[in-house]
Amino acid sequence: MSVADRLPLGDAAGNGALLLGAVCVLLAAVFALTPLVVSLPGSLYVFFEVAILFAVYGVLVLGLDLQYGHTGLVNFGHVAFFAVGAYAVAMLSARDSFAGVSLGLPWPVALAGGVVVAALLGAAVGATSVRLRDDFLAVATLATAEIVHSLFVSFEGVFGGNVGIGSVPQPVSDLAGDADTAMLATLLLFGGVTLFTLAAVTRLTEAPYGRVLRAIRADELVTRSVGKSVLTYKMQSFVYGAALAGLAGGLFALYTGAVAPGYFTIQVTVTVWIGMLLGGAANHRGVLAGLAVIMGLRLLSRFALGVMPLSADAFASVRLVVVGLILVAVIRYRPAGLWGDAEELGVDT
Amino acid sequence: MSLLAVENLGKEFGGLRALDDLSVSVDRGELVGVMGPNGAGKSTFFNCVSGVVTPDEGRVLLDDADVTGDSPEALARAGMVRTFQHTRELETMTVRDNVRLAAPGQPGERTLPALLRTGSMRDREREVRERADELVEAFELDHLADEYSGSLSGGQRKLLELARVLMLDPDLLLLDEPFAGVNPTLTREIAERIRALNDDGMTVVVIEHELETLTELVDRLVVLQQGSLLVEGDPETVLSDERVIEAYLGE
């Protein structure tokens, strides 16, 4: 990508993802809407679960890559927008949840509401913090995530406290014939959404729009002095990333049928950040691949527990050590990530 | 008629008076040099005029419109573009993209046209590329067009910065030390380019230490000292002025 043009205007970057996404969604519709049923071997369930979570986190990491990879905004509170999207969808669509607010609106309305609420939170945080220099923005976003998390735990009457919100509709499960078919349809649908997101962010960043974002990442003053409204672009990039995180959260809520603070810890932010840095910031497909690597490793380590002569507690620590070592190795030997471009990211190799 | 008028400009940095009641005006089509010893306020003058810092007092008029305190991006769109004393490249972008970035009026810099990949965006981008390639070639950077600008030498950076600002086709070009750290051959070349731009009707203001090149180049010299105007006039008169000699050579 270093040479030649980043903007292949004639042929259309992102169209492959768009097409593949459409195929996925169509297939999902076939499984969900027709009496067709599939049965999956029980041993594969765990792979399907992780793959569905990967699709959800994929939308998260693509939003983060727009913010950090292209615009240089250090958002250490990505989970906040994910959580707010999930809670908004859950509260808008749940019927008679055991705890917290449940409004019982149709799920498509709730999903749209979730995206809007996350975008609004993004706009509020952006308006107050996006002017800050990198490290200060990191602190402000990290604090936002902590505040959001505490609010969800503390306001039991509204957010259901540690129990969270239950009885959220699960449209795919309701439509599909049985649990196995629902799982496959969900994976295809979410995979399709992730691919659509990939197509959208690719189009955005391959267009002159992305050129302005990368210029901001490189030098704000120069970008301003050639007539670009840097603040507007930073706000847009931040809000778009937040809205995507809200979408991911909404999908997550409609898949699990319940949300609780335990799903939305700093661990989510850490996972998508490691995935992005591992894959190579500013390369959309790279960050997805990096996320796949880190989530794949986590999955593998589950099986490793069975053959290791260690207690589960000790093993959890070993797992963290291994992830940390991988990150250290990548930063040492491939500072731009596995598929990142060192010159474009301005790092020494 | 003056294109740029600066009236009673004042700026203080923590008790240090960088600009003190400075009034300067530049006519359309002029080529003006700004000189003065270190700390005379040359860069602060540029920064105040180009919106990088807001002056404490006074007004800046561009084409008779009050633009005091306007942002650099608004001023760039209004036709006043500047370069920086220490060249600022977008090091993580290619030479080509550095130049293309500056193109005005690209609808593809908005979200919807970018997402929909509209025809107007593609048409504009075709023009932008053509113009950018022309400029890159004119500044003899074409063999480096696909290199990241972080790998350019000091002189090449000066050329790239010029190519980039010309993409905006400004009415008023402010150049902050365009010859600093540049070898004599390239200095002459840059000076010729500046003169050619001025001959084509562009109004240019140049800050410079390098006295010889500057005095040969400009129509009029403005000398600053301690934030105020010391002398102004045509280069020969200014250089033979007692006060200027004193300011430069010391007491």
Tokens at B101, concatenated: 């970035």
Place A108 in a pLDDT band, splitting at 50, 70 and 90.
very high
- Residue B227, pLDDT above cutoff 80: yes
Query: Distance between CA A250 and CA A270 in Å, rounded?
Result: 20
> Is position A63 within any domain?
yes
Q: Which residues in A lie closer than 8 A to residue B104 (C-beta atoms)?
A: 227
Residues of B in contact with A215 (CB under 8 A): 90, 93, 101
Give B109's contacts in chain A (Cβ within 8 Å): 207-209, 211-212, 228
Assess whether B72 and B101 both reside in one domain.
no
Residue A143 inside a domain? The answer is yes
Do residues B154 and B177 make contact, with C-beta atoms less than 8 angstroms apart? no
pLDDT for position B175: 93
Nearest chain B alpha carbon to A199: B115
Give the per-residue pLDDT at B238: 86
d(C-alpha A295, C-alpha A273), whole Å: 12
Residue B34, strand partner residues: B207, B222
Of B82, B121, B150, nearest to A225 by CB-CB distance is B82
Q: What is the pLDDT of residue B137?
A: 93
Q: How close does chain B come to A208, measured CA to CA in Å?
A: 5
| pLDDT score for A141 | 95
Whether residue A307 is contained in a domain is answered as: no
HEC profile of A85-106: HHHHHHHHHCCCCCCCCCCCCC
What pLDDT is stored for residue A197 in this prediction?
A: 97
Interface test with A, best of B75, B87, B101 (most A CBs within 10 A): B101
B78 and B96 assigned to the same domain: no
For the segment A298-313, the average pLDDT, to the nearest whole number, is 81
Are B15 and B80 members of one domain?
yes
Shared domain for B6 and B84, answered yes or no, is yes
CA of B81 vs chain A CAs: smallest distance (Å): 7
Residue B108 has its nearest CB partner, among A207, A236, A344, at A207
Q: Tell me: do B127 and B142 sit in the same domain.
A: yes
Residues of A in contact with B89 (CB under 8 A): 219, 222
**What is the reported pLDDT for A349?**
59
Residue B233's CATH number: 3.40.50.300
Q: Does A83 have pLDDT greater than 90?
A: yes
Chain B residues near residue A343 by CB distance under 8 angstroms: 92, 148, 150-151
Residue of A nearest to B87 (CA): A222
* Overall residue count recorded for chain B in this entry: 251
Q: Using an 8 Å Cβ cutoff, are B72 and B50 in contact?
A: yes
Phi, psi (5° rounding) for residue B124? -65, -40
| A47-56, A153-162, B11-20: which is most confident | A47-56
Looking at the fold, whether B198 and B225 belong to one and the same domain comes out as yes
Confidence of residue A301 (pLDDT cuts 50, 70, 90): confident
Whether B162 is covered by a domain: the verdict is no
Q: Are residues B58 and B180 in the same domain?
A: yes
Domain count, chain A: 1
A6/B contact by beta carbon, under 8 A: yes
| pLDDT exceeds cutoff 60 at A65 | yes
Q: What is the arithmetic mean of pLDDT over A303-310? A: 79
How far does the CA of residue B102 sit from the closest CA of chain A (Å)?
5
Using an 8 Å CB-CB cutoff, list chain B residues near A234: none
CA dihedral (A232, A233, A239, A243) positive or negative: positive
Is residue A10 included in any domain, yes or no?
no
Angle subtended by helix axes A15-33 and A179-206, to nearest 10: 160
Query: What mean pLDDT do residues B181-199 have?
Result: 90
Dmax (CA) for chain A in angstroms is 63
CB contact set of B168 (below 8 Å; sequence gap of 6+): A226, A227, B76, B81, B102, B103, B104
Is there a single domain that holds both residue B14 and residue B59? yes
User: Is the same domain home to B122 and B135?
Assistant: yes
Structural tokens at position B62: 């561009």
- Pick the residue from chain B with its C-alpha nearest to A4: B146
User: Does B51 lie in the same domain as B123?
Assistant: no
Nearest CA in chain B to A228: B73
Say yes or no to pLDDT of A73 above 70.
yes
- % of chain A exceeding 90 in pLDDT: 69
Inside any domain, residue B165: no
Answer for the pair B20, B34: CB distance below 8 angstroms, yes or no. Answer: no
Option in B103, B114, B122 nearest A209 (CB): B114
From the CA atom positions of chain B, what is the Rg in Å?
19
- Residue range B40-63, pLDDT digits in tens: 888 899 999 999 999 999 999 999
Domain of B115? Answer: 90-151
Q: Decide if B114 and A343 are in contact by the 8 Å CB cutoff.
A: no
- What is the domain range of residue A37? 15-266
The whole-number pLDDT of residue B250 equals: 64
Pairwise CA distance, residues A237 & B111, whole Å: 10
- Provide the Cα torsion A99, A104, A106, A111; round to 10°: -30
CA end-to-end distance (rounded Å), chain A:
17
| DSSP 3-state of B105 | coil
Strongest mean pLDDT among A234-243, A312-321, B7-16: A234-243
The overall longest dimension of chain B from CA atoms, in Å, is: 67
CA distances for B195 relative to B76, B82, B117, angstroms: 21, 16, 40
**What's the pLDDT at A1?**
36
Q: How far is A148 from chain B (nearest CA, A)?
A: 29
A311 inside domain: no
Same domain, B15 and B123: no
- Say if A210 falls within a structural domain: yes
**Residue B76, pLDDT score:** 95
Q: What percent of chain A has pLDDT over 70?
A: 96
Give a yes or no: residue B74 inside a domain. yes
Which backbone phi and psi does A31 adopt, to 5 degrees?
A: -70, -35
Interval B128-145 mean pLDDT: 93
> Does A348 fall in a domain?
no
Residue B1 · residue B171 · CB < 8 Å: no
Alpha carbons B83 and B235: distance in angstroms, whole number: 23
Residues B82 and B174 in one domain: yes
Instruction: Give the range among A33-47, A244-258, A308-322 with minimum mean pLDDT.
Output: A308-322
Alpha carbons A203 and B54: distance in angstroms, whole number: 38
Averaged confidence pLDDT in chain B: 90
Q: Is the dihedral of CA B168, B169, B175, B180 positive or negative?
A: positive
Q: What percent of chain B has pLDDT over 70?
A: 98
- Count of structural domains, chain B: 2
Query: Does the pLDDT of residue B251 top 80, yes or no?
Result: no
Q: Do A215 and B90 touch (CB under 8 A)?
A: yes
Banded pLDDT at A4 (limits 50, 70, 90): very low
pLDDT at B40: 86
Whether A266 shows a pLDDT value over 60: the answer reads yes
In a domain, A338, yes or no: no
For residue A12, the model assigns a pLDDT of 63
Q: Is the pLDDT of residue A241 over 90?
A: yes
A149 touches chain B (CB under 8 A): no
Helix pair A107-129, A134-154: axis angle to 10 deg: 140
Distance to chain A for B250, nearest Cα, Å: 36
Average pLDDT over residues B176-182: 86
Cα–Cα distance for residue pair B128/A93, rounded to 1 Å: 48
Is B158 part of any domain?
A: no
